[in-house]
């Protein structure tokens, strides 16, 4: 049995759909109020939905082979440190400990936000001193780095870990099943919605002299590629560690917006706006995944280009009747 926490969320629901396609017995842990049945291609074959409050008992009372821990408060602007601590750190620690005790494989979501402004590079280094040197720019990113540090300490110093543990540092993910993320949806979906409403597309101005407006760069990765990586590690139970999940390519927000307009056959209507004060000091101007470590494990699947990913997302999902338009 496979358990997916956050299984009704963005990456989680896409993973559940892939697990079910492969006829793997799957349980989803998420809040009932957050479950959108439209996210699932075969909801009737999900073995069970478990509320987060019942998660510990469910793990202890059932035979689970793998836990994909994807549930968390993922908003980079969320400011309640107590909730972040409980949801992102305490719960992750509890799941790690239960996996150790019950010999359950653990694959969990970290984030490229842990790298802060990138002055230490974007290298998925498993050195504890390196993780301690990172300076995340917001509470969410800090929480993800704390989990990685705690787990690496348990593994390297205390010699306590699940039979397999994988931390995946996801870069900027976009794709189907993200509409519930509200103000944290991808710029792809946000631009699509603005075009549908005949509104101007808005991007933040740059406050870094090295980057023109809209030329800020991110490693944008299509969610289908994230699922391929997750499924690949599911097959490789002899590998553990921290790994980047990006394309290895940094592309500009202008590139992204241009490709959305191109696929919708519309003339570009774009305006650069002031960045809110609360995120000016938390803003990453450039991210690019170093994939050498992932490649060394044998992962050799091709990633969607930004052009191909946006084309698939718009034509096969967003342009479907009433899909994710709010």
In whole angstroms, what is the distance from residue 202 CA to residue 189 CA? 12
Q: What is the DSSP string of 43-54?
A: GGG--EEE-GGG
Number of other residues whose CB lies within 10 A of the CB of residue 116: 19
Phi and psi for 263 in degrees, rounded to 5? -70, -20
Burial of 6 from C-beta contacts in 10 A (0-12 / 13-18 / 19+): buried
Give the contacts of 162 (CB within 8 A, at least 6 positions apart).
96, 99, 100, 103, 104, 105, 106
Residue matched to tokens 């690949």: 232
Give the contacts of 97 (CB within 8 A, at least 6 positions apart).
none
Whether the pLDDT of residue 97 is over 70: the answer is yes
Question: In Å, how far are 44, 53, 70, 77, 144 from 5, measured between CA atoms?
Answer: 18, 12, 5, 22, 16
Query: Where residue 326 falls among pLDDT bands split at 50, 70, 90?
Result: very low
In whole angstroms, what is the distance from residue 171 CA to residue 177 CA? 17
Whether the pLDDT of residue 228 is over 90: the answer is yes
Question: In Å, how far are 62, 113, 186, 219, 311 from 286, measured between CA atoms?
Answer: 44, 11, 16, 8, 23
At 33 the pLDDT is 80
The one catalytic residue among 149, 181, 196, 205:
181
Phi and psi for 111 in degrees, rounded to 5? -155, 150
Whether the pLDDT of residue 156 is over 90: the answer is yes
Question: In Å, how far are 133, 134, 170, 257, 300 from 119, measured between CA atoms?
Answer: 10, 9, 18, 27, 28
Whether the pLDDT of residue 257 is over 70: the answer is yes
Whether the pLDDT of residue 268 is over 50: the answer is yes
| pTM (predicted TM-score) | 0.94
> Do residues 181 and 249 lie in contact, with contact meaning Cβ atoms separated by under 8 Å?
no
In whole angstroms, what is the distance from residue 156 CA to residue 137 CA? 26
The reply to whether 181 belongs to the active site is: yes
Residue matched to tokens 């699932």: 40
Q: What is the pLDDT of residues 15-27, one digit of tens each?
A: 999 999 999 999 9
- The token pair at 112 is 């490229």
Q: What is the pLDDT of residues 44-93, one digit of tens each?
A: 999 999 999 999 999 999 999 999 999 987 766 666 778 888 889 999 99
Question: In Å, how far are 85, 114, 282 from 130, measured between CA atoms?
Answer: 22, 11, 20
Residue matched to tokens 């478990």: 50
The reply to whether 140 belongs to the active site is: yes
Please name each of the domains of the chain with its CATH number. 2-172+220-245 (3.40.50.720), 175-219+249-286+305-318 (3.90.25.10)
The one catalytic residue among 39, 108, 122, 140:
140
The DSSP letter of residue 85 is I
Give the contacts of 168 (CB within 8 A, at least 6 positions apart).
107, 108, 109, 110, 226, 229, 230, 233, 243, 244, 245
Query: Where residue 323 falls among pLDDT bands split at 50, 70, 90?
Result: low
In whole angstroms, what is the distance from residue 106 CA to residue 237 CA? 10
Give the contacts of 80 (CB within 8 A, at least 6 positions apart).
none
At 34 the pLDDT is 77
At 76 the pLDDT is 65
């Amino acid at each position: 049995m496979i358990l997916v926490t956050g299984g009704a969320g963005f990456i989680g629901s896409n993973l559940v759909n892939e697990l079910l396609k492969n006829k793997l017995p799957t349980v989803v842990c998420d809040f009932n109020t957050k479950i959108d049945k439209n996210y699932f291609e075969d909801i009737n074959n999900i073995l069970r939905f478990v509320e987060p409050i019942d998660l510990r008992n469910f793990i202890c009372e059932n035979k689970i082979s793998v836990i994909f821990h994807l549930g968390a408060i993922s908003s980079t602007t969320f400011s309640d440190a107590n909730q972040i601590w409980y949801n992102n750190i305490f719960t992750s620690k509890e799941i790690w400990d239960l996996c150790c005790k019950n010999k359950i494989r653990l694959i969990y979501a970290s984030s490229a936000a842990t790298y802060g402004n990138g002055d230490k590079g974007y290298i998925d280094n498993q050195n504890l001193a390196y993780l301690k040197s990172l300076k995340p720019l917001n509470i969410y990113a800090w929480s993800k780095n704390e989990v990685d540090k705690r787990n690496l300490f348990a593994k390297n110093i205390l010699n306590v870990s699940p039979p397999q543990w994988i931390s995946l540092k996801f870069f900027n993910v976009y794709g189907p099943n993200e509409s519930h993320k509200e103000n944290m949806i991808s710029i792809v979906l946000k631009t699509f919605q603005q075009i549908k409403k005949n509104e101007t597309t808005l991007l933040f101005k740059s406050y870094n002299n090295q980057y023109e407006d809209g030329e800020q760069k991110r490693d944008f990765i299509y969610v289908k590629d994230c699922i391929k990586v997750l499924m690949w590690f599911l097959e490789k139970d002899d590998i553990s560690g921290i790994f980047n999940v990006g394309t290895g390519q940094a592309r500009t927000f202008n590139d992204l917006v241009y490709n959305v307009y191109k696929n919708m056959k519309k003339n570009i209507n774009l305006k650069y706006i002031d960045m809110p004060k609360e995120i000016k000091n938390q803003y990453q101007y450039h991210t690019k995944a170093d994939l050498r470590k992932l490649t060394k494990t044998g992962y050799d699947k091709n990633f969607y280009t930004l052009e191909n990913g946006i084309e698939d997302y718009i034509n096969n999902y967003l342009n479907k009747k009433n899909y994710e338009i709010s």
